[in-house]
Amino acid sequence: MKLVTGNSNRALAQSVASYLELPLTDCTVKRFADKEVYVEVHENVRGEDVFILQSTSFPANDNLMELLILTDALRRSSARRITAVVPYFGYARQDRRATGRTPISAKLVANLIAEAGVNRVITLDLHASQIQGFFDIPTDNLYAAPIITRDILDNYKLENTMIVSPDVGGVARARAVAQRLGTDLAIVDKRRPKAGVSEVMNIIGDVSGQACILIDDIVDSGGTLVNAAEALLKAGAKEVSAYITHGVLSEGASERIGASKLKELVVTDSIEATPAQRATANIRHMGIAPLIGEAIARTASEQSVSSLFD
49 assigned to a ligand binding site: no
Decide: 277 and 247 in contact? Cβ < 8 Å: yes
90 assigned to a ligand binding site: no
93 assigned to a ligand binding site: yes
How would you classify the pairing of strands 264-268 and 239-247? parallel
Q: What are phi and psi of 35, to 5 degrees?
A: 75, 10
Alpha-carbon span 58 to 272, nearest angstrom? 10
Residues near 221 by Cβ (< 8 Å), separated by ≥ 6?
196, 250, 252, 253, 256
Q: What is the CA radius of gyration of the chain?
A: 20
26 assigned to a ligand binding site: no
Closest C-alpha to 204, from 233, 164, 173: 164
294 assigned to a ligand binding site: no
125 assigned to a ligand binding site: no
Whether 2 is a known active-site residue: answer no
107 assigned to a ligand binding site: no
36 assigned to a ligand binding site: yes
31 assigned to a ligand binding site: no
Catalytic residue among 2, 30, 157, 190: 190
Cis check: omega of the bond before 59, within 30 degrees of 0: yes
Active-site positions read 190
- Binding positions for ATP are 34-36, 93-94
- Binding positions for Mg(2+) are 127, 167
- Binding positions are 34-36, 93-94, 127, 167, 192, 216, 220-224
